[in-house]
C-alpha cells in the first residue's frame, strides 16, 4: 500500500513538474515575444526621433549656412586683424627695442663721458688741492717770515721810538725849562726897568716865537718820515682802519705845515691866564689859553678816532702806540705856546678820547656838530685854567 502510494505521489510530482515546465516555457515565450515587440517599437521610435533630429539639423544647417559664412568671414577678418596687429606690435617692439638699445648705448656713452669728466675733474681738483696746499705752505712760510720780520721791525721800531721819545722829552724839558727861566728873567727885568719893557718884550717874544717855529719845522720833517715808516708797518699788519686814520692825520699835518710857512709874529697882549702842569702854574695870554684848550679838544677827537679804528681792526688797546699820540702836534701853530706844552695837553685829551672810542662810549666827551669834543668839566680838570688879570 505504501509502495503504491509512493508511486502515485511520484507520478503526481512528475505530472506537476511537467505542467509547471510547460507553463514556464509558455510564459517565457510570451515574455520574449513582448520584449521583441517592445524592442521593435523602441527602434521605430528611435528612428523617428533620429529622422526628426536629422531634419532639424538639416534645417538648422540650411539656416545657419549664411551666418556661418559671415562668422567665418568675420573670423578671417579678425584673424587677419590679429595678424596685422601682431605684426604691428612686433614692429613696435622692434622699434622700442631699437630705441631702447640706442638709449642704452647713448647712456653708456654719456656715463663714459661723465666718468671721463669726473676723472678729469678729480684730477684737476687733485692738482688744484696740491697747488693750494703748496700755496698755503708757501703762504704760511711767507707769513712766518713776515711775522718774524714784522716782530723784529716792531722791536726795532719800538726801541727807536722809545729812544727818540726819551731824547725828545729830555731836549724838550731842557729847552722848556731854559725858556721858562729866560722868560721869567725877562719879566723880572721888565718890572725893574719899566721904560724898556714894551720894546724889549716885543723883540724877545718875537725871537722866542720865531725860535719855536724853526724848531717845529725841523721836527715836522722828522715826524713825517716817521709817519711814512709807520704807515708801511700798518700795511704789513693789515690794519686798514688805523691806516685810514693815520693818512687823514698826516694830511692835516701837511696843511698845518703849509699854513705855518706864512707865519708872521703878532702881539696878542700880556699874560693874563695861568694853567696847571705837574703841580705848578704857568702863565700865558688869551691866545695861548685858547690854543691849550684846542690842544685838549683836538687830542680827544683824534684819540677817539684812533681808538675806534683799533676796535674796527680788532687790535688790542694801546693808545701810546697810535701815531697821533706819538706826534701830538695836530693843530699846533707856534704862537705863544711851546710845542712841548702843546703835546702834553694834546696827549691828555688823546688818552681819554682813545678810551671812549675803543669802548664806544662817551665818558669823557660828547658828539656835537659833526665832531667829538671833551666835556668842559674834564677840560677844566686837565688844564686848571684861571684868569689872573
- For the four alpha carbons of 198, 203, 345 and 262, in that order, the dihedral sign comes to positive
Entry pTM: 0.51
What is the full per-residue pLDDT of the chain (389 aa) written as tens digits?
A: 566 777 777 777 777 766 676 666 666 676 777 777 788 888 888 888 888 888 888 787 777 777 777 888 888 888 888 889 888 888 899 999 999 999 999 999 999 999 998 888 888 888 888 888 888 888 777 767 766 665 665 566 556 655 655 565 565 555 555 555 655 555 555 444 444 445 555 555 556 556 666 666 666 666 766 777 788 888 888 889 998 998 898 888 888 777 776 666 566 667 788 888 877 888 888 888 899 999 999 999 999 999 999 999 999 998 998 989 988 888 887 667 888 889 999 999 999 999 999 999 999 999 988 889 999 999 999 998 888 86
Q: At what angle do helices 197-237 and 339-358 cross, to 10 degrees?
A: 40
Query: In the block, which residue shows the cell 686848571?
Result: 384
Q: At what angle do helices 240-260 and 286-313 cross, to 10 degrees?
A: 160
Q: Is 332 exposed, middle or buried (0-12, 13-18, 19+ CB in 10 A)?
A: buried
CA angle 306, 158, 229 (to 5 degrees): 65
Angstrom CA distances, 355 to 306, 318, 350, 358, stand at 9, 9, 9, 5
Amino acid at each position: 500500500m505504501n509502495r503504491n502510494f509512493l508511486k502515485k505521489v511520484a507520478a503526481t510530482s512528475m505530472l506537476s513538474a511537467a505542467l509547471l515546465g510547460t507553463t514556464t516555457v509558455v510564459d517565457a515565450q510570451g515574455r520574449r515575444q513582448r520584449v521583441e515587440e517592445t524592442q521593435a517599437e523602441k527602434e521605430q521610435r528611435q528612428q523617428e526621433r533620429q529622422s526628426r533630429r536629422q531634419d532639424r539639423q538639416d534645417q538648422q544647417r540650411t539656416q545657419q549656412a549664411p551666418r556661418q559664412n559671415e562668422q567665418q568671414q568675420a573670423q578671417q577678418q579678425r584673424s587677419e586683424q590679429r595678424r596685422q596687429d601682431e605684426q604691428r606690435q612686433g614692429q613696435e617692439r622692434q622699434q622700442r627695442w631699437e630705441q631702447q638699445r640706442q638709449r642704452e648705448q647713448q647712456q653708456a656713452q654719456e656715463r663714459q663721458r661723465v666718468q671721463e669728466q669726473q676723472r678729469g675733474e678729480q684730477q684737476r681738483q687733485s692738482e688744484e688741492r696740491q697747488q693750494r696746499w703748496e700755496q698755503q705752505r708757501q703762504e704760511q712760510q711767507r707769513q712766518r717770515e713776515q711775522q718774524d720780520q714784522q716782530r723784529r721791525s716792531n722791536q726795532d721800531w719800538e726801541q727807536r721810538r722809545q729812544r727818540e721819545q726819551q731824547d725828545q722829552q729830555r731836549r724838550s724839558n731842557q729847552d722848556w725849562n731854559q725858556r721858562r727861566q729866560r722868560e721869567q728873567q725877562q719879566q723880572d727885568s721888565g718890572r725893574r726897568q719899566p721904560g724898556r719893557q714894551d720894546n724889549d718884550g716885543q723883540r724877545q717874544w718875537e725871537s722866542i716865537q720865531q725860535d719855536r717855529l724853526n724848531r717845529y719845522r725841523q721836527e715836522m720833517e722828522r715826524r713825517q718820515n716817521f709817519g711814512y715808516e709807520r704807515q708801511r708797518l700798518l700795511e704789513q699788519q693789515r690794519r686798514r682802519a688805523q691806516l685810514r686814520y693815520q693818512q687823514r692825520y698826516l694830511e692835516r699835518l701837511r696843511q698845518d705845515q703849509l699854513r705855518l710857512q706864512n707865519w708872521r709874529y703878532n702881539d696878542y697882549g700880556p699874560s693874563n691866564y695861568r694853567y696847571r702842569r705837574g703841580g705848578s702854574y704857568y702863565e700865558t695870554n688869551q691866545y695861548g689859553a685858547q690854543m691849550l684848550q684846542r690842544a685838549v679838544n683836538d687830542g680827544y677827537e683824534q684819540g677817539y678816532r684812533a681808538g675806534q679804528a683799533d676796535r674796527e681792526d680788532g687790535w688790542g688797546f694801546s693808545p701810546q702806540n697810535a701815531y697821533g699820540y706819538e706826534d701830538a702836534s695836530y693843530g699846533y701853530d707856534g704862537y705863544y705856546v711851546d710845542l712841548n706844552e702843546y703835546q702834553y695837553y694834546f696827549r691828555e685829551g688823546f688818552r681819554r678820547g682813545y678810551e671812549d672810542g675803543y669802548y664806544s662810549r662817551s665818558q669823557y666827551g660828547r658828539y656835537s656838530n659833526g665832531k667829538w669834543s671833551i666835556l668842559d668839566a674834564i677840560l677844566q680838570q686837565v688844564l686848571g685854567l684861571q684868569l689872573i688879570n
